Amino acid sequence: MRLHHFHSSSTSFRVRIALNLKGLEVDYVPIQLGWSSGDHDKPAYREFNPQQNVPVLEDGDATLVQSLAIIEYLDELHPEPPLLPRDPLGRARVRGLALYVACEIQPPNNLRVQRHLAAAMGADQAALSRWQRHWIDVGFDVLETQLSRSPLTGKFCHGDTPTVADIFLVPQMYNAQRKVVGADLARWPTLRRIWDACVALPAFDRAKPQNQAGFESPVGH
C-alpha cells in the first residue's frame, strides 16, 4: 500500500495515526501543498485523483480518498486493534465526534477555503488568522462540552483506548496550536487531557508533521 500525503495536512495526519495504531507499514509518497501552487494543482495529480486532495491510499489498482473512508477501510481489513467500539451506539458516538471535526471544524480552515477567502473576499493574513481561530474556538468549545459531560468519555474520547474520535481530534488540536491560529489549550481541559494521553503514544507522536520526511516549518496559511 502507498499513502500519498502531505506532512502538514491534518487529514493526512489522521491516516498516519491509524496506520501506526494498526502497525501497518506502507510507502509514503509526499505531496507538497502550498499557498500559491502545489503538487495537487498539477494536471497529473488531478488525473490520478480528481478530488485533488490528500490523503490518497493506493491498494493494488484501487485509489481510496477521504480520510474517514480510508480509516474505516483499514479497520475493516485489519480489525485489531479496533478503532471503533463494538456496539452500534458507541460507534455512532465516536463517528459523531470525528465527523464534527471533519465536517464543521476542519473545512472552513482548510487551504482551498483560505485561498478562496483571499481571492473572493479580499481577506488578508490577519483576517484569515481571525477566521481560523473563530472555528477552532467555537468547535473546541462544543467538543469540550460534549466530552466533559458524558460518562462514556474515558482516558480517551471514548473509553480507555484510542478510537477514530481521537484520531480526528489530535491533528485538529495540533493545527490549533500553530502560530497562525495561536489557540491556548488551557481553555479546554478535557481536550487537553485527551491530547496529553494521545501524544504520549508513539503511534500519535510518530505521525506528527515534524516527524515526516520533507518537513521544514509549519505552513503559514
Q: Does 183 bind its own copies (CB under 8 A)?
A: no
Among 32, 37, 125, 145, binds its own copies (CB under 8 A): 145
Q: Does 69 bind its own copies (CB under 8 A)?
A: yes
Q: Are strands 2-5 and 56-59 parallel, antiparallel or unpaired?
A: antiparallel
Q: Does 197 bind its own copies (CB under 8 A)?
A: no
Among 27, 36, 120, 186, binds its own copies (CB under 8 A): 120
Q: Are strands 2-5 and 27-30 parallel, antiparallel or unpaired?
A: parallel
Burial class (CB in 10 A: 0-12, 13-18, 19+), 160: exposed
Among 26, 39, 48, 66, binds its own copies (CB under 8 A): 66
Q: Residue 24 has which C-alpha cell?
A: 501497518
Q: Residue 147 has which C-alpha cell?
A: 466530552
Q: Does 146 bind its own copies (CB under 8 A)?
A: yes
Which span sits near its own copies by CB under 8 A: 2-10, 30-38, 45-53, 154-162?
45-53
Pseudo-torsion of CA 94, 100, 105, 110, nearest 10°?
80
Q: Does 88 bind its own copies (CB under 8 A)?
A: yes
Among 89, 126, 186, 213, binds its own copies (CB under 8 A): 89
Q: Does 44 bind its own copies (CB under 8 A)?
A: no
Q: Does 30 bind its own copies (CB under 8 A)?
A: no
Q: Does 15 bind its own copies (CB under 8 A)?
A: no
Contact 26, 73 (CB under 8 A): no
Q: Does 42 bind its own copies (CB under 8 A)?
A: no
Q: Does 117 bind its own copies (CB under 8 A)?
A: yes
Query: Residue 11 is which amino acid?
Result: T
Q: Does 118 bind its own copies (CB under 8 A)?
A: no
Q: In Å, what is the CA distance from 195 to each residue of 18, 150, 210, 217?
A: 16, 17, 17, 21
Q: What is the DSSP string of 33-89?
A: --SS--GGGSHHHHHH-TT--S-EEEETTEEEESHHHHHHHHHHHS-SS-SS-SSHH
Q: Does 100 bind its own copies (CB under 8 A)?
A: yes
The footprint of its own copies (CB under 8 A) covers 50-53, 59, 62, 64-66, 68-70, 72-73, 76-77, 88-89, 91-93, 95-96, 99-100, 102-104, 106-108, 113, 116-117, 120-121, 123, 127, 130-131, 134, 142, 145-146, 149
